[in-house]
């Protein structure tokens, strides 16, 4: 599944397949690519429990992977497709963690719009190849997520009004993401090359950052509410109403297999699947076929989850529950592959896709009851603090 190059340099060490088989050499490049891809898969899993360091680590790893490969003088063939897929994956995990952790309904509603807005834009770009779509649909969600977690580190996000969160999103959208998206996707400039060509750019950026820090420290900070608690890095505890599987099962059973939440998950999984289908090699099916197939997968998953919830034979073990979800979906994909023709769906690409989407649907089903429990006890909009932002 991990691309390697013919004739790649090998390590001095060897790895024996079996005691009775000849020793097999392992290339340095293969180990590096495997380590990077593994890190890009597992690091986002920290986000639900450690939101701010987890998302920052995923963001840094996304920016550094190509530099890591360049340091070894290697450009993995076919990696670009997996790189785009992993970008979509870690943002999906971040969105799932808002269901688990966020206590402000206002901030959650803003983030949900920002996430799906970007997801629609990326899907449209992958289908059309028209780069301005990435400017029209900027990835504001990513930095809005970071902004929320920075606030939560010292203050109670639930005390801030919708107006405050809309201002935060607007500032990020206009002053951060639009210039960044234009630079990367429209002008297609490389920061290192531009820095070498314009030596004054570096000091100018430093001055701009210092000015922004000064504005925050002397203008914005005095108008903010006092810190509510010492620095918090880990996610807040789960609400009492949704800490065990049995408690979450009540919410799942009441929602049923046909609900607005399931329809949202159809859109979520379908769009992510279409993006994967465009960037991953070996999925020779149309986007419409893939979307419809994934819609069936989501409804089957939802129906199975409801049956399990109503009969109370689930488990609190996340690993066992995910393993069961993965086995179910592998079976569904194997059936779909047999129906459309095995030569049209590459096994490795299909397994990669089903693993990612199984994890996303599993986390959505696990965290949605937590979100509903938090929302049921949230303060109404009129009771929150209307933080001054001007």
pLDDT of 388: 43
pLDDT of 153: 95
Residue that the structure tokens 């393993």 belong to: 323
State the angle between helix axes of 51-71 and 28-42 in degrees (0 to 180), rounded to the nearest 10.
Answer: 160
Ordered DSSP codes for 211-241: HHHHHIIIIIGGGSPPP-SS---SPPPPPGG
pLDDT of 66: 80
Residue 6 and residue 8: Cα distance in Å, rounded?
Answer: 6
pLDDT of 257: 67
**What is the pTM (predicted TM-score) of this model?**
0.85
pLDDT of 9: 41
Centroid of chain to Cα 390: 32
pLDDT of 151: 94
pLDDT of 56: 96
Residue of 131, 119, 136 whose CA lies nearest to 184: 131
Residue 27 and residue 32: Cα distance in Å, rounded?
Answer: 9
Residue 198 and residue 200: Cα distance in Å, rounded?
Answer: 5
pLDDT of 281: 73
pLDDT of 145: 98
3-class secondary structure for 30-62? HHHHHHHHHHHHHHHHHCCCCHHHHHHHHHHHH
pLDDT of 380: 62
pLDDT of 113: 98
Give me the long-range contacts of 167-174 (CB less than 8 A, separation at least 24): 167/389, 168/110, 168/144, 169/110, 169/114, 169/140, 169/144, 172/140, 172/143, 172/144, 172/147, 173/138, 173/140
Block mean pLDDT (10 aa), the chain, length 390: 44 42 60 87 95 95 84 77 83 96 96 97 92 94 97 93 96 94 84 79 88 89 85 91 72 72 92 89 81 91 84 79 92 81 72 89 90 79 47
- The Cα-based distances of 368 to 106, 184, 252, 376 in angstroms read 16, 34, 9, 12
pLDDT of 20: 39
pLDDT of 267: 95
Contact 368, 99 (CB under 8 A): yes
């Amino acid at each position: 599944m991990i691309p390697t190059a013919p004739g790649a340099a090998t390590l001095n060490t060897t790895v024996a397949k079996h005691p009775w088989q000849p020793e097999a050499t392992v290339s340095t490049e293969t180990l590096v690519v495997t380590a990077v891809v593994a890190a890009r898969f597992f690091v986002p899993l920290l986000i639900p429990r450690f939101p701010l360091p987890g998302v920052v680590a995923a963001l840094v790893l996304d920016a550094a992977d190509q530099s890591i490969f360049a340091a070894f003088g290697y450009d993995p063939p076919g990696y670009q497709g997996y790189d785009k897929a992993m970008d979509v994956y870690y943002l999906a995990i971040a969105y799932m963690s808002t269901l688990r952790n966020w206590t402000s309904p206002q901030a959650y509603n803003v983030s949900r719009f920002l996430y799906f807005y970007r997801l629609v834009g990326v899907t449209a770009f992958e289908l059309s190849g028209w780069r301005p779509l990435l400017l029209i649909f900027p990835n504001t969600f990513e930095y809005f997520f970071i902004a929320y977690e920075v606030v939560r580190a010292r203050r109670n996000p639930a005390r801030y009004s919708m107006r405050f969160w809309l201002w935060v999103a607007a500032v990020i959208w206009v002053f951060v993401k639009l210039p960044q998206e234009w630079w990367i996707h429209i002008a297609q400039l490389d920061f290192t090359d531009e820095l070498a060509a314009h030596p004054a750019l570096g000091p100018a950026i430093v001055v701009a950052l210092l000015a922004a820090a000064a504005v925050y420290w002397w203008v914005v900070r005095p108008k903010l509410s006092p810190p509510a608690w010492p620095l918090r890095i880990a996610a807040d505890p789960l609400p009492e109403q949704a800490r065990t599987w049995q408690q979450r099962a009540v919410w799942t059973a009441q929602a049923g297999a046909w609900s607005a939440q399931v329809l949202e998950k159809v859109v979520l999984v379908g769009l992510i699947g279409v993006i994967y289908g465009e960037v991953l090699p070996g999925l020779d099916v149309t986007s419409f076929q893939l979307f419809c197939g994934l819609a069936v997968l989501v409804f089957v998953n939802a129906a199975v989850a409801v049956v399990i919830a109503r009969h109370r034979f689930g488990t609190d073990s996340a690993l066992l529950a995910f393993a069961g979800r993965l086995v179910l979906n592998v079976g569904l994909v194997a059936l779909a592959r047999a129906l459309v023709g095995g030569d049209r769906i590459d096994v490795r690409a299909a397994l990669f896709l089903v693993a990612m989407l199984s994890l996303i649907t599993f986390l959505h089903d696990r965290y949605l009851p937590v979100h509903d429990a938090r929302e049921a006890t949230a303060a109404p909009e009129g009771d929150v603090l209307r933080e001054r932002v001007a």
